[in-house]
Amino acid sequence: MAYVIAEPCIGTKDSACVDACPVDCIHPKKDEPGFDEVEILNIEPVECIDCGACVPACPVAAIYDSVDSTPPSQKELIEANAVYREGDSGAVSQAEQIVKNHMSAHADLMAVAPAERAAAHAK
Ligand code: F3S
Ligand code: F3S
């Protein structure tokens, strides 16, 4: 498991990470099917080479460099990244359902500005 896109991406989907990634492993991109429908972008772990270029590109600090560094309250989003496969509608749906379940479980935090959600989890 490589880098992980987590909760601050929900409601942001800035996509600067896509442009920063040298191996094109972050999806869906703005010009790919399903971009408007998904709540979050995902890093395909098999493709990611752990270069870390995406981390400083994200304006809301949504990307963690490992499973261990992803906050415990956002751990289920690791699974969303893990199952996502661009072009595989079943895998895309499965990943999205994980994200939607997370959003339902943290409805109060979804009202918090994305860049402040990680800190809000800790309260
Ligand atoms: Fe790309 Fe980030 Fe991995 S830039 S290669 S997704 S660490
Ligand atoms: Fe999301 Fe940040 Fe990329 S908001 S789309 S992880 S730049």
pLDDT of 80-93, one tens digit each?
Answer: 989 998 889 999 99
CATH number at residue 96: 3.30.70.20
Amino acid at 2: A
Q: Region of 88 please: left (phi>0), alpha (psi -120 to 50) or beta.
A: beta
How many angstroms separate the alpha carbon of residue 54 from the centre of ligand 2?
8
> pLDDT tens across 67-123, in order?
899 888 888 899 998 999 888 999 999 999 999 999 999 998 889 998 888 777 766
Total domains in the chain come to 1
Instruction: Determine the structural domain holding residue 56 and report its residue range.
Output: 4-121
Task: Please list the residues that pair with 4 across neighbouring strands.
Answer: 64
Smallest CA separation from ligand 1 atom 6, residue = 48
Do the beta carbons of residue 34 and residue 47 sit within 8 Å? no
CB of residue 17 inside a 6 A radius of ligand 2: yes
pTM for the structure as a whole: 0.92
